[in-house]
Amino acid sequence: MRLEATELTDDERALQQEVRSWLRKRLPVGSYPLGLGMSGEIDPEFSRDLGAQGWLGMALPTEYGGHGRTAVERLIVVEELLAVGAPVGFHWVGDRQSGPSIAKHGTEEQKRDLLPRIARGEVSFAIGMSEPDSGSDLASLRTRAVREGDGWRVNGTKIWTSGAYESTHILALFRTSEDKHTGLTQFIVPRETEGMSINKIPFIDGTRHFCEISFEDMYLPDSLRMGEVGGGWGQNTAELVLERGGVDRWMSVMPILENWATSRSVEGDAAAAADLGAIAARSWAFRGMSLSVARMVDEGKSPVTEAALIKEMATRFEQECTDIVARHYGRTPDLHSDDPHESLLARAILVSPSWSIRGGTNEILRTVISKGLNKR
Ligand SMILES: Cc1cc2nc3c(=O)[nH]c(=O)nc-3n(C[C@H](O)[C@H](O)[C@H](O)COP(=O)(O)OP(=O)(O)OC[C@H]3O[C@@H](n4cnc5c(N)ncnc54)[C@H](O)[C@@H]3O)c2cc1C
């Protein structure tokens, strides 16, 4: 386990200021629906504007429309977006993990087709991993892709696929042979593919981004396969580093915290001030850990254990922050309140239990951490 202390350079701080001042103009307070971190609203126009700034696909290679920047520079942009609850839902998954994975494992054709569009904020990816009987034990998944002519015939069901209905592509993991781990292969499935139907599942806060996907005799040409046949498990594991170790794992409630910290209720309240101090100290520590993971990614490493450690601790922190603000609120916040911060807090109370489930449950992450530590 290595999480080395690191700080932003002067150039990185300049980028932070640039993003901050652009966001003040592009998203004036009250002009957009506040989001809870990565579950921000889906706003393709905002995603395209962000792409035009060069702030999507930042670490993708320049020959494919990316910007050849670093994972740390991407972290800086993302941190500013999440701090204001920006509408990041359309581009989130593609920018965070599908793009980098396609850059690494995609064919030349896939890279030329998709990476420039990810960097311009024109496409939206969903993650097709979990199935009704395969969540924690993902490698037991049963949606089968069977060779047929020059392609694959797919049958099965995916569930809990966030944002699939509004997405343009699903990066899916299918079973291509019986071997548990080496029998899995990734495919890039365009949203309109015949044989795929997507149904929305209502979430506890009334939103409908959660989906179930059925594949009934769906045919995919082999050109949509990503990476080697049987190489899906390793590719998927590497993606989870990008999914687990980032600032998105502890910043969901930042707009709520900022509003609470600057509100009158904290002034002259010793208990609230003590809670705020503890939250600030822990936020700073998590920020340092995510920054350290991003520097490791920039060095070409795949810090699986470190990313799992961040997610396990940080999602519990987000949940505790929600509980603390709710406790100090003095009454039950109303989900339908005209005050956007009140309704956001009400949503956070409803959905925060899911933060330590999505992306792998804490029980599973603890296993990943202990296995990783025992290896050394
Ligand atoms: C908000 C949200 C968004 C999501 N988005 C997506 C998405 O976009 N794409 C996608 O593919 N999936 C998504 N998921 C699914 C998520 O990855 C799974 O819910 C998660 O991996 C757990 O799987 P499960 O629900 O099948 O629970 P199970 O695996 O059935 O687990 C049930 C309980 O048993 C525990 N458990 C299971 N196995 C063990 C073990 N070996 N040791 C100890 N405890 C164990 C678990 O920790 C959990 O508490 C999302 C989930 C949520 C809540």
Question: What is the tens place of the pLDDT at every residue in 250-309?
Answer: 999 999 999 999 987 788 899 999 999 999 999 999 999 999 999 999 998 888 899 999
pLDDT (0 to 100) of residue 240:
83
**How far away, in angstroms, is 362 Cα from ligand 1 center?**
9
Q: What is the CA radius of gyration of the chain?
A: 20
Question: What is the tens place of the pLDDT at every residue in 144-166?
Answer: 999 999 999 999 999 999 999 99
**How far away, in angstroms, is 162 Cα from ligand 1 center?**
13
Does the beta carbon of 223 lie inside 6 Å of ligand 1?
no
Select the more confidently predicted residue: 376 or 235.
235
Select the more confidently predicted residue: 201 or 1.
201
pLDDT (0 to 100) of residue 188:
98
Which residue type occupies 164?
A
Determine the residue of 36, 361, 367 to mutate for testing ligand 1's pocket, defined as the one with the most ligand atoms within 8 A of the Cβ atom.
Answer: 361
pLDDT (0 to 100) of residue 263:
85
Mean pLDDT of 122-135: 97
281 burial via Cβ count (<10 Å: 0-12, 13-18, 19+)? exposed
CA distance linking residue 123 with residue 117, whole number of Å: 6
Ligand 1, atom 38: closest residue by C-alpha: 136
| Res 103 pLDDT > 90 | yes
Cα separations (Å) of 135 from 131, 225, 332? Answer: 6, 22, 33
Ligand 1, atom 40: closest residue by C-alpha: 364
**Percent of the chain's residues with pLDDT above 70:** 100
pLDDT (0 to 100) of residue 245:
85
| Res 243 pLDDT > 90 | no
| Res 230 pLDDT > 90 | yes
| Res 229 pLDDT > 90 | yes
Count CB neighbours of 245 within 10 A. Answer: 29
Nearest CA to 227 out of 104, 53, 73, 67 is that of 104
CA distance linking residue 220 with residue 231, whole number of Å: 18
Does the beta carbon of 315 lie inside 6 Å of ligand 1?
no
CA distance linking residue 268 with residue 276, whole number of Å: 12
How many residues are listed for the chain in this entry? 376
Nearest CA to 257 out of 277, 236, 239, 286 is that of 277
Atom of ligand 1 nearest to the CA of 136: 29
Where residue 85 falls (left for φ over 0; alpha for ψ -120 to 50; beta otherwise) is left
Does the beta carbon of 164 lie inside 6 Å of ligand 1?
no
Determine the residue of 36, 42, 133, 136 to mutate for testing ligand 1's pocket, defined as the one with the most ligand atoms within 8 A of the Cβ atom.
Answer: 136
Does the beta carbon of 127 lie inside 6 Å of ligand 1?
yes
pLDDT (0 to 100) of residue 376:
59
Count CB neighbours of 85 within 10 A. Answer: 27
173: which strand partners?
A: 186
Query: Are 365 and 312 in contact, with CB atoms under 8 Å apart?
Result: yes
Give me the chain's average pLDDT, please: 95
The set of residues, in sequence order, having a beta carbon less than 8 Å from that of 144 and lying 6+ positions away, is 154, 155, 156, 174, 175, 176
Question: What is the tens place of the pLDDT at every residue in 314-349?
Answer: 999 999 999 999 999 989 999 999 999 999 999 999
* Inter-axis angle of helices 340-351 and 254-261, nearest 10: 130
Ligand 1, atom 44: closest residue by C-alpha: 363
Nearest CA to 261 out of 242, 283, 241, 243 is that of 283
- Could you tell me the two tokens for 321? 């922050």
**How far away, in angstroms, is 107 Cα from ligand 1 center?**
31
Query: Are 212 and 199 in contact, with CB atoms under 8 Å apart?
Result: yes
Atom of ligand 1 nearest to the CA of 126: 8
**How far away, in angstroms, is 284 Cα from ligand 1 center?**
28
**How far away, in angstroms, is 361 Cα from ligand 1 center?**
6
pLDDT (0 to 100) of residue 201:
96
Determine the residue of 358, 368, 369 to mutate for testing ligand 1's pocket, defined as the one with the most ligand atoms within 8 A of the Cβ atom.
Answer: 358
Ligand 1, atom 26: closest residue by C-alpha: 135
Ligand 1, atom 35: closest residue by C-alpha: 363
Does the beta carbon of 357 lie inside 6 Å of ligand 1?
yes
**How far away, in angstroms, is 240 Cα from ligand 1 center?**
14
57 burial via Cβ count (<10 Å: 0-12, 13-18, 19+)? buried
CA distance linking residue 374 with residue 376, whole number of Å: 6
CA distance linking residue 289 with residue 306, whole number of Å: 8
Determine phi and psi for 166, rounding to 5 degrees: -90, -5
Query: Are 96 and 75 in contact, with CB atoms under 8 Å apart?
Result: no
Atom of ligand 1 nearest to the CA of 362: 47
pLDDT (0 to 100) of residue 238:
85
CA distance linking residue 253 with residue 335, whole number of Å: 15
pLDDT (0 to 100) of residue 349:
98
Does the beta carbon of 364 lie inside 6 Å of ligand 1?
yes
Query: Are 172 and 187 in contact, with CB atoms under 8 Å apart?
Result: yes
**How far away, in angstroms, is 21 Cα from ligand 1 center?**
38
| Res 358 pLDDT > 90 | yes
**How far away, in angstroms, is 292 Cα from ligand 1 center?**
27
Helix, strand, coil content of the chain in percent (nearest 5): 50, 15, 35
Mean pLDDT of 209-231: 97
| Res 107 pLDDT > 70 | yes
